[in-house]
Amino acid sequence: MKQFYYSMLAATLSLFAFASCSSGDDEGAFEISQLVGSEWKSSYEWLDSDDFSMESGTEVLVFTSSTKAEKTTEYEGYGWDYNYTLGSSEYKPYSGTRYTFYEYTVSDNVIHLTPTDGYYTLDLVISGNNLIDDTNDQIWTLSKKGDGVESDETSSYSWSNMSGFWMYDDPYSEYAAVMQVYKSQNAPSSRYLNNPEYGYFSCFGMHFNASGQMKEVTMETRLFENTLTIARIPASDGKTVYWTNIETGSYSGIEYTIHGNTIYYSGEPAFEIVSSDVIKDMHGGMYVRAK
């Protein structure tokens, strides 16, 4: 069972701020007109008494516009990770940064935050220079008042123009060029199948659907077509060659999200969008759009 212990320092500061506001000295109190551009800080820690996994972190919540907000969480902890070599679980440290993107509305003194993944709604009550999350027993303390100026960061990318096949650049680009030459030569189907140099033109990649769910694919040349196919090539012997997916896995249940020039998975950066035709994973691997 997880037990949550939020920062005593934050709680102390919040009580001090609340007492100051209650005393009638409102000169430094937060006003709702200062919400856009404002930053709020909090911290947390939890311990699972069943398996002794634990995590602590600091969080910064920023209201970037009149409808959008972002939360950055810097976290570290200990947890159990299965070691397939040893055949057992290991108690190991971990750390990282995760991002949560929200849309929000304000009614009276309550801010209603809804993550863009749509999983839950968070209600924060404005109390002086603090935001109170009663559900999670968390207090956010104002660290910077907003100036009312909305962030001008916009993204031209969404799943409406980024869905489709993304193939690992090497060897996909080479294979696509070779097959284009064969097609211009009106080559027979045998040139594409079990080619002495290129085999079945096997290459790895991904397919994102319109909802941002991802499925790993391995494309190979075949005389039959599976569900996902990059190319259909008429051959000189009257047959059609399909560059089609031979993997049977399903799409990810969790949707990838796009914010700015980054594709996120479960709140963590997964791919950098270089252009509408090129993306890179966080290890530098380059994927190109299959056309």
The per-residue pLDDT for 125 is 95
The per-residue pLDDT for 21 is 41
The per-residue pLDDT for 118 is 66
Give me the average pLDDT of each 10-residue run along the chain (291 residues).
Answer: 46 40 52 93 94 96 94 96 90 94 93 84 93 90 90 78 96 96 96 95 96 96 96 97 95 90 93 96 96 83
The per-residue pLDDT for 164 is 96
Q: In terms of C-beta distances under 8 Å and separation of at least 24 residues, what long-range contacts does 43-47 make, across chains too?
A: 43/6, 43/7, 43/9, 43/10, 44/4, 44/5, 44/6, 44/7, 44/138, 45/4, 45/5, 45/6, 46/2, 46/3, 46/4, 46/5, 47/2, 47/3, 47/5
Q: What's the pTM? A: 0.76
Torsion of Cα atoms, 102 then 149 then 32 then 257, to 10°: 0
H/E element holding 40?
strand 39-48
From residue 127, alpha-carbon distances to 74, 112, 133, 144, 290 in Å are 25, 15, 11, 15, 52
The per-residue pLDDT for 151 is 73
Q: How far apart are CA 238 and CA 102, in angstroms?
A: 54
The per-residue pLDDT for 136 is 80
